[in-house]
Structures are given as structure tokens and as C-alpha cells.
Amino acid sequence: MEAFKTILLIFLIICAISASLMKNPLLSVIVFMSYSLVMSIIWFLLESPDLAITEAAVGAGVSSILFFVTLRKLKALSEGGQNEQDKK
């Protein structure tokens, strides 16, 4: 169990750093989503299932949807896609 916890914590740190360093905002939001999921598993292992449910519903679900809608309103997603296509 200790090894599993360590792996989860290392994954959490990797997610946190890479979410802020990603160039593409879409990928950044998805990495942030996986950060929330790992965080909810850690809450469950820390014996607080109430927080785990809330983290999974709000952190991974609703807040990322709001991020997606905002990025689409700012036209950051489509421009990012075009830039990637230009590079290819």
C-alpha cells in the first residue's frame, strides 16, 4: 500500500508541474483533470470519502467543462489546433 501511495504522490507532482508547463491549453486542462482524479484517489486513501466524491465531481467534472467552454469562447482551442497543423 505504501508503494501505491508513493506512486500516486509522484504522479500528482508530475501532473501539477506538467499542467503549468504545457504549451497547448487543451492538453493542460486534460492533465489538470487527471490531477483531480489522482487527488480524489488520495483523498479516499486518507479515509475521507466525502472529499473524494466532491473532488471527482467538481475538480474532474464541472471545472474542466468550464475551462473547455472558456477556452472555446476565447478561441484558444481552434487557434492552437491550427498552429499544430501548420507545424505538421
Among left, alpha and beta (phi > 0; psi -120 to 50; other), residue 47 is left
Binding-residue pattern over the window 4 to 43 for another protein, x denoting contact by CB under 8 A: ----------------------------------------
Beta carbons of 74 and 25 less than 8 angstroms apart = no
Residue given cell 492538453 in the structure block: 27
Beta carbons of 65 and 85 less than 8 angstroms apart = no
Out of 31, 33, 38, 52, name the contact with another protein by CB under 8 A.
Answer: 52
Out of 6, 61, 78, 79, name the contact with another protein by CB under 8 A.
Answer: 61
Q: How far is the CB of 9 from another protein (least distance, A)?
A: 15
